[in-house]
Structure formats: structure tokens, C-alpha cells
Chain A
Amino acid sequence: MNDGCVGCEALAAADLDGDGLPELIVLHESSATPVYELIKIVRPGTEGSGLVPIRISSDVPQMGLSANETLLLTAGGDEGSSFAIGCEGPRDAPVLVQWSSQHPVDGTGSDVRDVYETKLKLSSVTAAVIDSQHVTQSTSDPLPFDPLHSNGCGVQWFP
């Protein structure tokens, strides 16, 4: 999932795992649905030192990720889908939240959207899903998240 770095930029540094050291957030693909990669910097002299992309510990189909793949977070919206990234919990134990929704633009099922909320806890170079919710709702109902504004952990993810 890490190929095709397009319009990459160093976006921000933020402590996403609560260890007191910031992780680097890199804009991996620049578009209406910007995709972000999180990179842990492990100091030389310590085990696993280097520039280490944070990986997901288990399959997360609602995020299109399989176990041990690089964690990619998405904001914004396209193709009838919407995304948002947030952050919950105290500063020393933050929880990343990836929201997403999807519905057919027209035809059967276009009046109902699937909404997913996935909560992630980062620890060192791994992200684990600690909670996952899936609900369906009418597309006439407001989204339970705001795809036009993604803020969390001190990071302006979108716009």
C-alpha cells in the first residue's frame, strides 16, 4: 500500500501514541481524499531503529487494510464516500479515530449509507483496533462526523 507517493509532503509531527515523542505524519497521496502515512522514528542504538512506518496489527476491512500493512488514514471525500480523522482521549493515551461512509451514488441502495467508526491505539510501531462500529443510516440524515473538517491530536488533517 505504500507505493505511488504522489504529492507527498511532510504534514505534521504529533504524539499519536502518548509516549511523549511525536510521530511524523506524511501526506502520502494528495487529492480530495488525502491519504496519510504515520512514521515512527526509532533512535539508533535501540531495537528496530530507523524510520518505521506504523503498521496495523490485524485485518481492518473497513479501512481496506490487512494485518501488518502500513496504516493509512484518509480524510475528505470522493466517489460518494466521506472520511474524517479524529483523536479522542487524554494527551498521554490518545485514540485515533477513522470515520468513513459509503453509499451508491444512484440506483439501488443509494438512499442508505454505511458508516464505519474505527478506533485505533498506537503503540510503538503498531496500531491496534480497539473498537469498531458499523451502522447504516439514511443519506438524508446528517453524517455523524464532519468530512469537511478533520482535526485531531493537534493535526489539521483536512482541509
Chain B
Amino acid sequence: MPSIDEQLKDRLRGSAPRPFRADDLVAGLSARKRRRELGRKAGTIALVVCVLLGTAGGFLVLNRVFRATRMPVATPSRPIENLGLDYPICRVMDMPITVDGAPGSAYVFTREDSDCPKPGEGDSFVAADLDGDGRVDTLPVQLLGCFSPVGCEAFAAPDVNSDGTSEIAVSDAGADGYGVSLYAVTMSPPAIQPIQVADSIYKQVRPGPLEFAWVDVAGHAEGAAWHTASRVPLLNVFGYDKFDDPTKVITDGVQIVGTTADVMGESTVSKSLAEAPVPGNELCGAPLQGSAANFPNGAHSDQMDIGIGNPLCDVSKVVADFTGDGQDDTALVGMEGRDGRCMNAAEGRRSSLWTPPATGCPTAGTT
């Protein structure tokens, strides 16, 4: 196992493959700033910072702009025999997708021979209805590696890059979890194509079809989460072992444009197992389908009721005498949940709160 220094050096070396112009640092930072500003203009969700100073009874709030995200539109699928295909099909799974902002459906199905093959057997395909008429408009793409006893399933249909069209995630189930492949929908001609990683020197995402695992077992976890700070939201593919606590969480940031995925960089961050990301029951805000829907909610249990109407989730804290009154204050930074529950990071709002631990926030409590 390389030392931490070696890992860091590798990370620094590995994160520098993309050339800058022959300008100086100012140009690079300006570009980064523009990306952030574009992201800021894109959204409408308010980033809230609230402060409760227990010793003074003060409650102070700052509002900031946080980028919004578009969610796939859920529509019921319309049953048309064999989805308009000229052969019989079975084991049809469908999930709603959005195509240029309009509703459609993605299907995973198996071609029926004389009888319907068992799950994981026979030929399985993914296809999409792009106009919501109940007929698939794309040529079915055959799915390989569909193992028994579960076989390939529709996994989720998030709009990962917020371009108005869903990406289609398909899973094949293994002994410990799922292998997930991402497909892009293209319109001219109507097609589903595997998203390809052109190049990657990183650990979590390798060149070829974009694939990642969805696993949460005794010694290991892998999954993906949304990173929406950049102009084009990233898919953060993460993985870590659970043998040590804290552990090293390796995360690759993947930017998807059309059918191409670029791995923007990789980070290795030390986190306690309690704080490490977990593969939950949603992918980039889209609920998991099929048997994967049984994954527990990925929200951390470290949530608090601080009396703001929603739980404060994924809470971190720093204790210090911020006010100089001789009493320790506690700074809490967390994600404000919605509808009474903790949600995907991109859906929530970030809050901060200060309260002295001697009295605590009046309504605070760990759930």
C-alpha cells in the first residue's frame, strides 16, 4: 500500500492531464470562476445559512442562491403490444424518462422464444419510447452479462448532466450488488448508445463503456452520487473499503456530454465510515427501479431536528468559543432536508447553525 504522500503525489500528478493555455494562473482561475457563476445563474434554490447564538437568543439567516436541478418527469407508460416490436417480449420493465423536456419511457425487456426465458437467460435489451406513444423509437440495444437469478433490470433514469434528457441506467445483479451501465439517448437518429469513457488514468472509472458498481457489503462500498456545483453536473463515482475507520474514499468526477464521459479528476479523502457516502435507493435524484429499489435510503443517520421545519442532515460540527463569552459554542454545518426527510445532496439546502452545547438548540436532538 503506497504511503499517504505517494497517494497524494499520484493524485496531483493524475489530476493534471488537461492542458491550460499558455496564459497564467489568472486565466485558469477566471475560467473556474466563470463556471461557478454560470452554475449560480442556472438555479433558483436558496442556499440558507442560519445562525442561532444561544447565549444571546439571536437567530440570524442569510440566503444564498444554489443551483436548481431538473428532475425526470414521471408519466405512466401506455401498454402497446410488444412495445411496437415485431417479436414477442416478456419481463418488461419500464421507467419514465425525459427527452428534451418531454416525457418518454425506457424499457428493459427480454425476447420471448417459445417461452419466456428465466431471468438472466435469453436475450435482453434496452430501448426507449421518446415521444410517449407507447412504442419504442430506438433500436433495442442488447444487454450482455445478465446473470441469473436476477438478470438485467432497469436501474434508474436520471438527467445526470441536466441537459433536459435522461440518461438510462441499466443494471445486472451479482452476488454482492449491481453493476450499472449508463446509456445516452440521441435524437438524430433516435437511438440509445452506451456512454463511453474515452480515456481515464483513474481508479474508479476505466476507459470504455461507463460502468460503476452499486455495492454496500461488509467490507466494501461503491456507488455514485451527484455533484452539481459545476456548470455541467458531475457524476461522482465513489468506492472505499470498510476495514479501517476512517477510510479512504476514492471519488472520480465524471462529466457526461452526449455519449461521451470525461473523468475530470479523482480525489482520495479520509472519512469516517459514518460520514462516507453510501449507495442508497436513488441515483442523481431518480429512484432506483426493480430489485435495486430495496437499497436503503442513503441518507446518513446523523441528522438533527433544529426546529427549522426540516431535519438538518449530514451534520458536521466545530466546537469553540466563537463569541468570547467563556462558553463553548458549537458550529453545525449540514444539509437542510425537505419534506421532513434527508435527501440527495443536490436536492437539499445547506445550513449552518451555532448553539452552545450547555443548553443546546431548544429543539435539537439526534434522530
Contact = CB atoms under 8 A, between A and B. Distances in A.
Interface stretch (A73-81, A85-93, A122-130): A73-81
A64 B26 contact: yes
Contact of A32 (B12, B33, B62, B323): B12
Given A50-B51, A78-B16, A78-B265, A4 B228 contact: yes
Interface of B: 4-5, 8-9, 11-12, 15-22, 24-26, 28-30, 32-33, 36, 39-40, 43, 47, 49-51, 53, 56-58, 60, 62, 64-67, 227-230, 253, 265-267, 269-270, 316-324, 329, 331-333, 345, 350, 352, 354
A50 B333 contact: no
Contact of B19 (A6, A8, A29, A107): A107
Nearest to B275: A9
B15 A77 contact: yes
B194 to A, nearest CB: 27
A3 B40 contact: yes
A14 to B, nearest CB: 8
A79 B20 contact: yes
A101 B25 contact: yes
Closest 7 CB pairs of A and B: A64-B29, A4-B229, A13-B320, A102-B25, A44-B58, A3-B40, A109-B22
Interface of A: 1-13, 20-22, 24-26, 29-32, 39, 41, 43-45, 49-51, 61-64, 76-82, 100-110, 114, 116, 147-148, 159
B322 to A, nearest CB: 4
A108 B17 contact: no
Given A2-B47, A21-B324, A30-B267, A77 B56 contact: no
Contacts of A24: 318, 320, 322, 331, 352
* Residue of A4, A100, A102, A105 with most chain B CB atoms under a 10 A cut-off: A4
A10 B9 contact: no
Given A102-B20, A148-B9, A51 B49 contact: yes
Contacts of A62: 25-26, 29
Nearest to A63: B29
A39 to B, nearest CB: 8
Contacts of B30: 61, 64
Contacts of B317: 10
B25 A114 contact: yes
A103 B19 CA distance: 9
Contacts of B39: 3-4
B21 A49 contact: no
Contact of A6 (B20, B228, B269, B316): B228
Contacts of B51: 41, 50-51
Nearest to A5: B350
A71 to B, nearest CB: 13
A82 B28 CA distance: 12
A32 B15 CA distance: 8
A154 to B, nearest CB: 11
A5 B336 CA distance: 12
Contact of B33 (A1, A9, A44): A1
Nearest to B19: A105
Given A5-B350, A44-B57, 10 more contacts: A1-B36, A3-B67, A11-B318, A30-B269, A32-B265, A43-B323, A61-B29, A77-B16, A79-B18, A104-B20
B333 to A, nearest CB: 4
Contact of A4 (B58, B67, B321): B67
B4 A43 contact: no
* Residue of A31, A80, A109, A148 with most chain B CB atoms under a 10 A cut-off: A31
